[in-house]
Amino acid sequence: MLIAEDLVLLVFDDESGKPDSMVTNLPYALAGALLIELGIENRIGVDEENKGRLVLLDRTPPAHPVLADALVKLEKFDGRKPKDAISPLSGQKLTERLLEGLADRGVLRREEGKVLKLFPVTRWPAEDSAHEVELRKTLNAVLVDGQDPDERTAALVAVLAAIKAASKVLDLPERSDRKLVDQRAKDIAEGNWGSVATRKAIEELTAAVMTAVMIPAIVTTSTT
């Protein structure tokens, strides 16, 4: 299971099959997750001696088609800043591709319908929740109980921290608990747990998400 697929399962409601309305910047987060995954697999790196430029280390196609396509796209960004790749990786209906892949493997179920009997809509309720249940247990152990995360869990937490969604994907009773979870996620994201490439990818993801949030705000302010 890709880190991006884990993120999709956490964000989409098991019953309604719709994404959590409180989670924003999902396409950027998914793109960042792909970048981090490729870093973990040592397919890409970051040249710290050349201003943190992206370096392709292994062009062998990954088994997962979405990850393989991402690696091909990154060929155009070899030698450029990792942040330059976030937006292109998020395009071409990345979320839908991940959802369809999970449905093909029996993890989600595709349901077609219409809103007001006019507008077509697709929902993705859970079909087999076994993986997601274990994933949430792991996140709860790490973010609530303070257990040390493994590299992949730390990467997922870092992505959640970048879009400020760590507390939103867990069932937490109190507002104070949410603040503690978000701080714990931020601490993990900023920790020294991964390679240079993965840490750089997280930095770039966070910067890209912040830009995505700030630009609409700036435009709105300037036009009022």
> Which residue segment(s) compose the domain that 177 sits in?
3-212
Q: Where are the beta strands (DSSP E) in 8-61?
A: 44-47, 53-56
Q: Would 83 be classed as within a structural domain?
A: yes
Domain count, the chain: 1
Q: Would 9 be classed as within a structural domain?
A: yes
Tell me what pLDDT residue 83 has: 83
Tell me what pLDDT residue 43 has: 92
Q: Would 219 be classed as within a structural domain?
A: no
Note the pLDDT tens digit of each residue in 93-142: 899 999 999 999 999 999 998 877 778 889 999 999 999 999 999 999 99
Tell me what pLDDT residue 209 has: 64
Contact yes or no for 128/109 (Cβ under 8 A):
no
Q: Would 223 be classed as within a structural domain?
A: no
> Which range has the top average pLDDT, 60-74, 86-100, 176-190, 201-215?
60-74
32: domain CATH number is: 1.10.3630.10
Q: Would 159 be classed as within a structural domain?
A: yes
Q: Which of 60-64, 156-160, 172-176 has the lowest mean pLDDT?
A: 172-176
pLDDT over 80 (residue 216) = no
User: What whole-number percentage of the chain has pLDDT above 70?
Assistant: 90
Tell me what pLDDT residue 114 has: 80
Note the pLDDT tens digit of each residue in 48-59: 787 878 889 999
For residue 164, how many other CB atoms are within 10 A of its CB? 17
Name the β-bridge partners of 119. Answer: 115
pLDDT over 80 (residue 212) = no
Tell me what pLDDT residue 8 has: 97
Tell me what pLDDT residue 211 has: 63
Structure tokens at 206: 């966070």
- DSSP for residue 7: H
| Per-residue pLDDT band at 47 (split at 50, 70, 90) | confident
Mean pLDDT of the chain: 86
Structure tokens at 189: 């994201």
C-beta pairs of 165-169 under 8 Å, 24+ apart in sequence = 165/11, 165/20, 165/22, 165/23, 165/29, 168/20, 168/22, 168/23, 169/10, 169/11, 169/20, 169/23, 169/136, 169/139
The whole-number average pLDDT for the span 195-210 is 71
| DSSP reduced 3-state for 172 | coil
Q: Would 19 be classed as within a structural domain?
A: yes
| Per-residue pLDDT band at 214 (split at 50, 70, 90) | very low
Tell me what pLDDT residue 175 has: 73
Q: Where are the beta strands (DSSP E) in 32-189?
A: 44-47, 53-56, 111-115, 119-123
Q: Would 224 be classed as within a structural domain?
A: no
Q: Would 221 be classed as within a structural domain?
A: no
Distance of alpha carbon 220 from alpha carbon 71, whole angstroms: 36
pLDDT over 50 (residue 213) = no
Tell me what pLDDT residue 222 has: 38
